[in-house]
Structure 1
Amino acid sequence: MNPKNLGSWKHKLSNTQQIGGIETSILDNGPGKGTRIAWVNTGTGLRYKVVLDRGMDIVDALFNENSLAWISHAGITAPQPFSNQGIDWLRTFAGGLLTTCGLSSMGPPNEDETGSRGLHGRYSNSPAELISIRQPDIFSEDLTFEIVGKIRETTTFGPSLELTRSISGSLGSPEIHIKDVVVNRGNTRTPHMLLYHINCGWPLIDEGTRIIWQGEKQAKATDANNTDFNKKFEFTRCAAPMDEHAGFGEDVAFILPKADANNQVVCGYANNELELAFKISFYKMQFPWLINWQHWGKNEYVTALEPATNPPIGQVAAKENGTLIYLEPGEKREYELKLEVLTGEKAKEFKM
């Protein structure tokens, strides 16, 4: 569907949903029973599932017959707000195209005099308050759509962070636009960390799929444990499933990404055989770090590119090294993310 050629379908449609839009529903089976979702169809072959009860994160994402996202063994589970200690987060981790980590801590479990925090924080187990849905309208020739909700991380007498998320796009464009605004609604200075866990899987991710990024890879404590594959390819190629990544096996790179003249960072994946690529764009001033997580386990085959305010080291470590962000009462921060599907020659030519 070409949005520029309005005349080709004007007066031939009764309902915009014939070509795309947003449809909300509730899952009625399995561990996600009772969970609110919204399917978004861009009319281009790109369609994706926003899980309203899991922080408006995105799980399923498909382009035509090809899945873009990795889905974990668990898949979508109902939110469990008290899965916030130790590594409990992994029990409810659906994978998916976007899992948000934060808002006050992300990275490994950590503890200090202010309390204990589990792996990757509380955000992804927090239901959203749905604020609005704006559908495209063929009759007014407005092809844009948007879904908006609020997610709160709060406790009485303690920190109170609020995130307003807008997910938007336009019929005829294979893009997802995400805008998050985080505000400190409390009356005390509050720590803040944020990471977008963008998890991609087969068939986009396959042996030889190119991993595209530009920047400086930083040393980290587990570099010595990275596999020979990544010591050779320096996090620029996807591997075949490997025994070394059974269980907790993984390769991880902490990257200081290079931005263009507009402060924009571009990264992603390109599968030349499928002529399919997935492009990720964000602003370095908002996310100065990019993480590449690789877990090539058999039957658990995934890689993620993760824009982040900090490396995933946890709140305590960020505090100790002086990089932890604090939001004053009423202070806000804005974050923007653009996800785009490329096909054909554009996919094969996608590089830095």
Structure 2
Amino acid sequence: MVKLYGKNLSRAEAEALSGSLGHAAGVRLMTLGDGLERGIRMLEFRSGSGLRFTVLVDRAMDIADCEHNGRAIGWHSPAGFRHPGLHDYEGEGGLGWMRSFSGLMITCGLDHILFMAESATPEYVYGPRRTAKHSLHGRAGTIPARLTGYGETWEGDSCTLWAEGVVTQGTVFGEHLELHRRIEVAVGSDEIRLSDRVVNRGFYDTPHMFCYHINVGHPVLEEGARYLGPIRDVVWAAHAEAYERQGVGYRTMPAPQMGFHEQVWQHEMATDADGRVPVALVNDRLGLGFMVTTRKDQFPCMYEWQNLQAGQYALGIEPSSNHVLGNGAARERGELIRLKHGEERRYDTAFTVLPDAGAIAAAEARIGAIAAQPEADYPAPSGTFLPIAGRS
């Protein structure tokens, strides 16, 4: 059954109500036509529950806008949804990525994440380039996808909206990686399902790192919004040397700040019986929240990003394939994934809107049943980066 406007409907009942499901739910392709966005292909999804989100085909099929019954979920930065043709990956000493950084979700990878790094590349057997210079968070997020399909699929009385595409990151004498992405939402639901496969199509043993920069903005983020996670340990904080200087802990968010310097935390998360990690930002005043659910064997690490500067106001939930220590440490610790020809890694993630107080309470109970997060706003970082093992 599909649920539309408070009623459970069979396929025949839903089709009797209109000449097209599109009056209530659907996915359609359009092209943006002005400013920095001009020329970007975009898919608009409407689930029929009040959930609407957009997928930028020409930016790695990342999720840009997201809202529920007119209430915004995703973050919009001053950079806007910049056309990839305007992007300078190596610009500003590797920080050019910031000029294309906006939206609910940005893909980081496919062979590098986190801060700028230079790594040896003997695997590519090319003398003139003995090292690779990596800019912030890698190349993937501004590569256009090849759109392989989209639409609606009925199975009995259930209907799924979906889109699929392939993002290719390749070069001569270097990596040849593909990101195969499928995005789904069931008609009548408040949950986006993201299924990714990163495949090595080349014949070099190729490094692979992966992260989602999931950015929640106003009004979910406002003064008093709460971060919820099954935190077993606070491993690291970027600002540990001046832990309380800005007066912002990990749990409760303030109003927009002036002169705020970003804060990043790495939390060691516990899992439920199925190996899943749910993390949420909730706004009790509005009765609105957003939850991200990942698999620990796919994303063993989780960061919390606080950019609470006025005009830039965002909270990031960042599941990652590696510790925040970065590319060099991943190599030194033997934790860098290397893919041989045809090998792949899967990532299965759910984004769930929590549309009311009841949904928030259920999510909080689910998370709390896995592990009780620290009650202190400034728990002392342990510095214990557990070895990463057991990847799927």
User: Which TM-score band applies after superposition, normalised by the shorter structure?
Assistant: over 0.9
Residue in structure 2 matched with residue 253 of structure 1 by the alignment = 265
- The 2-side partners of 1:137 and 1:53 are apart by 27
Unaligned runs of 5+ in 2: 121-130, 369-392
- Length-normalised TM-score, structure 1: 0.93
SS class of match (2:274): coil
SS class of match (2:210): strand
CA shift at 1:137, angstroms?
5.1
SS class of match (2:33): coil
Work out whether residues 14 and 21 of structure 2, in 8 Å CA contact, stay in contact via their aligned partners in 1.
no
Work out whether residues 3 and 171 of structure 1, in 8 Å CA contact, stay in contact via their aligned partners in 2.
no
Q: Does 1:158 align with 2:165?
A: no
Q: Does 1:83 align with 2:100?
A: no
Q: Does 1:173 align with 2:186?
A: no
* 1:239 maps to amino acid: P
Work out whether residues 54 and 124 of structure 1, in 8 Å CA contact, stay in contact via their aligned partners in 2.
yes
Residue in structure 1 matched with residue 104 of structure 2 by the alignment = 97
The match for 1:272 among 256, 270, 284 is 284
Q: Does 1:64 align with 2:69?
A: yes
The match for 1:328 among 333, 336, 340 is 340
Q: Does 1:144 align with 2:144?
A: no
CA shift at 1:134, angstroms?
2.7
- The 1-side partners of 2:230 and 2:264 are apart by 16
* Shift in alpha-carbon separation, 1:3–1:98, aligned structure 2, 3 A: farther
- The 1-side partners of 2:90 and 2:28 are apart by 31
CA shift at 1:230, angstroms?
5.8
Over aligned residue pairs, what C-alpha RMSD do you find?
1.9
CA shift at 1:82, angstroms?
4.5
SS class of match (2:58): helix
Residue in structure 2 matched with residue 33 of structure 1 by the alignment = 38
* Shift in alpha-carbon separation, 1:10–1:309, aligned structure 2, 3 A: same
Residue in structure 1 matched with residue 251 of structure 2 by the alignment = 236
- The 2-side partners of 1:331 and 1:167 are apart by 22
- The 1-side partners of 2:285 and 2:153 are apart by 34
Percent identical among aligned pairs is 32
CA shift at 1:324, angstroms?
1.2
* Shift in alpha-carbon separation, 1:328–1:279, aligned structure 2, 3 A: same
SS class of match (1:297): coil
Residue in structure 1 matched with residue 234 of structure 2 by the alignment = 217
Residue in structure 1 matched with residue 123 of structure 2 by the alignment = none
Work out whether residues 109 and 119 of structure 1, in 8 Å CA contact, stay in contact via their aligned partners in 2.
yes
- The 2-side partners of 1:149 and 1:197 are apart by 19
* Shift in alpha-carbon separation, 1:299–1:226, aligned structure 2, 3 A: farther
CA shift at 1:348, angstroms?
3.8
* 2:195 maps to amino acid: K
Work out whether residues 305 and 316 of structure 2, in 8 Å CA contact, stay in contact via their aligned partners in 1.
yes
Work out whether residues 288 and 357 of structure 2, in 8 Å CA contact, stay in contact via their aligned partners in 1.
no
Work out whether residues 238 and 263 of structure 2, in 8 Å CA contact, stay in contact via their aligned partners in 1.
no
- Length-normalised TM-score, structure 2: 0.84
- The 2-side partners of 1:342 and 1:220 are apart by 28
* 1:282 maps to amino acid: T
Bigger CA drift: 213-222 or 14-23?
213-222
Q: Does 1:281 align with 2:293?
A: yes
The match for 2:274 among 253, 262, 282 is 262
Q: Does 1:122 align with 2:139?
A: yes
SS class of match (2:293): strand
- The 2-side partners of 1:208 and 1:4 are apart by 36
- The 2-side partners of 1:89 and 1:15 are apart by 41
Aligned residues: 345
